[in-house]
Amino acid sequence: MRYVSVCSGMEAASVAWHPLGFTPVAFSEIEPFPCAVLAARFPNTPNHGSLTEYASWPIEQGSADILVGGTPCQSFSVGGRREGLDDPRGQLMFSFLGLAERLRPRWVLWENVPGVLSSGQPKGSDFGCLVQGLVERGYGVAWRVLDAIHFGTPQRRRRVFLVGCLGDWRASSEVLSLREGLRGYLTSGSKKRKDPASCSGAGVKANSQYFDFQAIGQYGNDGSASTLMARDYKDSKDLVVKPMSVPYTSSSFAQYAEGVGTVRASGGDLGGGSETLLAQPMAVRRLTPVECERLQGFPDNWSRISWKGKPEEECPDGPRYKACGNSMAVPVMRWIGERIAAYELNNPSQNHETK
């Protein structure tokens, strides 16, 4: 299957779908560092730049079977100002719809943060614009929130995934359906949430429960840690652990020995006298870029490229952290790709009728 990927980042979709035999037709990315990653990893696939200029792209209807992308989430996130479709970044949703109308792919796949489901006035109206826009263009759609932890990654990353199929809501619903016992089944968590999955015009819902998203450094009841926040892309000096010397007294020993960290004596008997102790306070270690790539399901050093005239061995950490944080989770994208491929294989007559 052929696909066009927009808001491409460092291309989670391509990493996920390459083993399935899917072929990228074109990318759309404007951030300098992700663009450099795309040029390094996919030198034969054109990057058409800004999604807002889709009308001028040298691409024709029928050239892609799938349109995939996660338009910017900042305007919908509960951690931001929530300007929704009043924010130019949020308005890229309409460019996505325009490109879908121009290409008329059989499938569309759109990803964003769960906050989009409550963005706008009345609540949820921003997401409703996307659903209505796709339905008006002939797509039957289904959507649900999936958490990357249930697809093999050691992190919690809840995202809305919307799938649309030209002329057939049943196909979209089947792609996102989950059954107990399958990889990716959403097991029960500490709190029940109202199921956000639904199907336009069909009333199809899947009853699932979701874990709460944890802040950085916090752990869920299954031992998994959360993802990095945007603030953690910056200076790491606050996360560097440095030993500190403290004079020994019975009170100071009790203070530092009681939950602060490892306490070591420089010599002698801790039962008396004056000693110099070394206290090691507890802290959360900063993840390395490779660890962040692994959390998202990328190969090691996928984002380590030659950058600003320096060799890849000197690629800075900052843009790598940001690219990882803005990416989709590869295992989730692979599962959806597998479901689309399976539907196509099992329904050849319907495929012919809609093309």
CA distance 295 to 327: 11
CA distance 291 to 303: 12
Active-site position among 7, 73, 199, 292:
73
Roughly what angle, to the nearest 10 degrees, separates helices 317-325 and 32-41? 90
Give Cα separations from 197 to 67, 182, 209 (angstroms).
21, 18, 11
CA distance 337 to 16: 8
CA distance 246 to 241: 16
CA distance 312 to 323: 16
For the beta sheet containing 276-281, the strands, ordered from the edge strand earlier in sequence to the opposite edge, are: 244-247, 276-281, 261-265
Peptide bond into 122 cis (omega under 30): yes
Q: By C-alpha distance, which of 151, 165, 68, 176 is closest to 112?
A: 68
Is-catalytic flag, 165?
A: no
Q: Are 66 and 3 in contact (CB under 8 A)?
A: yes
- Residues classed as catalytic: 73
